[in-house]
């Protein structure tokens, strides 16, 4: 674990390995975050963790090192509903990043449009109690009905509340992207209770996507075999609805910092053909985040 003099944590490695797998040209890292830099973009008073700075320069250096072309920057919970750090990263990317915001549900139409102009294409609803104080479903639903055209919602929840969330998810009037597949217990295997419940959700409507991400969070230790076993069939069954992301800088993973190169080497294990990888890394994220480039 790495903590600086101010007690700020570092949850990412400064020396990721170079992956063996080469992503196809144009590949999108569709789930990553930025932290600060805090002197320009202070953390929220309600932040549940205070990380060291992980700004756009470091993110884009990692993108290049891993062989990716674009990023989707997801507003991290430590920045609350002030999306300035995320917008700053998108602005610094020269068009190679888009983002997902976290907003106060009372946000005005004009503010939503400003986020759209800054490259935001969705809002994130976070249901993890260790990350946020409250998640008001009624207000989220109201907001989801007022989003700019072409936006979606990103939902982060744990498998044990999926059943309870079903009426809320069923009522969302826009496409859904589920972070880290709703954190299934992958040790149960591809036919375990959690993956079966998640498949039932995916089967309930055709516009639910998922991020086949975070073996480091969902599996005990590299080489994360149980993750590969449980997730590959999902990518094969729903090839047009999966996304992939590093999750850099891996919020809260300071005691089990993953190697980003090893994370990239998981891709061919869960998407074994070139066609699956093209969908996972290019087609699906472009359709959601760069729709103007999508035929």
Ligand X SMILES: O=C(O)c1cc(C(=O)O)oc(=O)c1
Name the residues that contact ligand X, by CB under 6 A: 76-78, 131, 179, 217, 247, 251-252
- Coil/strand/helix, residue 77: helix
For ligand X, the closer CB: 26 or 128:
128
| Minimum distance of ligand X from residue 245's CB (angstroms) | 8
Closest CA to 156 of 285, 283, 33: 33
| Minimum distance of ligand X from residue 242's CB (angstroms) | 16
For ligand X, the closer CB: 121 or 276:
121
| Minimum distance of ligand X from residue 123's CB (angstroms) | 13
For ligand X, the closer CB: 129 or 146:
129
For ligand X, the closer CB: 245 or 268:
245
The verdict on whether 82 is a catalytic residue reads no
227 vs 182: CA distance, rounded Å: 13
For ligand X, the closer CB: 77 or 219:
77
Report H helices in the chain.
56-66, 84-92, 109-117, 137-144, 162-171, 193-204, 215-218, 225-237, 260-264, 267-270, 274-278, 284-289
Instruction: Give the residue at shortest CB distance from ligand X.
Output: 77
Number of CB atoms found within 10 A of residue 275's CB: 11
| Minimum distance of ligand X from residue 110's CB (angstroms) | 26
244 vs 279: CA distance, rounded Å: 10
- The residue annotated as part of the active site, out of 53, 179, 226, 247, is 247
160 vs 153: CA distance, rounded Å: 20
| Minimum distance of ligand X from residue 275's CB (angstroms) | 27
Long-range contact pairs involving 35-39 (C-beta distance under 8 Å, separation at least 24): 35/76, 35/78, 35/79, 35/85, 35/249, 36/85, 37/85, 38/8
260 vs 249: CA distance, rounded Å: 9
- The catalytic site residues sit at 247
């Amino acid at each position: 674990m790495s903590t600086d003099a101010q007690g700020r944590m570092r949850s990412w490695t400064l020396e990721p390995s170079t992956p063996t797998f080469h992503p196809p040209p144009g590949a999108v890292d569709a789930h990553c975050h930025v932290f600060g830099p805090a002197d320009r973009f202070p953390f929220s008073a309600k932040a549940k963790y205070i990380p060291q700075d992980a700004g756009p320069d470091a993110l884009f250096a990692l993108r290049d090192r891993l062989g990716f072309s674009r990023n989707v920057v997801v507003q991290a919970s430590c920045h609350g509903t002030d999306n300035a750090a995320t917008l700053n990263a998108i602005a610094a990317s020269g068009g190679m990043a888009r983002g997902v915001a976290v907003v106060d549900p009372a946000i005005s139409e004009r503010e939503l449009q400003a986020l759209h102009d800054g490259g935001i294409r969705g809002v994130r609803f976070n249901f993890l109690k260790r990350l946020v104080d409250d998640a008001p479903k009624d207000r989220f639903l109201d907001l989801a009905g007022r989003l700019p055209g072409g936006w979606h919602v990103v939902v982060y929840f744990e498998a044990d509340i999926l059943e309870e969330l079903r009426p809320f998810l069923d009522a969302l009037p826009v496409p859904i992207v589920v972070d880290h597949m709703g954190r299934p217990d992958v040790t149960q295997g591809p036919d375990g209770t959690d993956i079966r419940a998640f498949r039932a959700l995916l089967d309930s409507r055709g516009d639910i996507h998922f991020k086949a991400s975070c073996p480091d969070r969902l599996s005990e230790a590299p080489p994360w075999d149980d993750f590969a076993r449980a997730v590959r069939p999902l990518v094969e069954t729903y090839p047009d609805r999966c996304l992939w992301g590093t999750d850099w800088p891996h919020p809260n993973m300071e005691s089990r910092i993953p190697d980003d190169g090893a994370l990239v080497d998981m891709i061919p294990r869960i998407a074994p053909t070139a066609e699956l990888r093209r969908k996972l890394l290019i087609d699906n994220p472009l359709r959601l985040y760069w729709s103007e480039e999508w035929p």
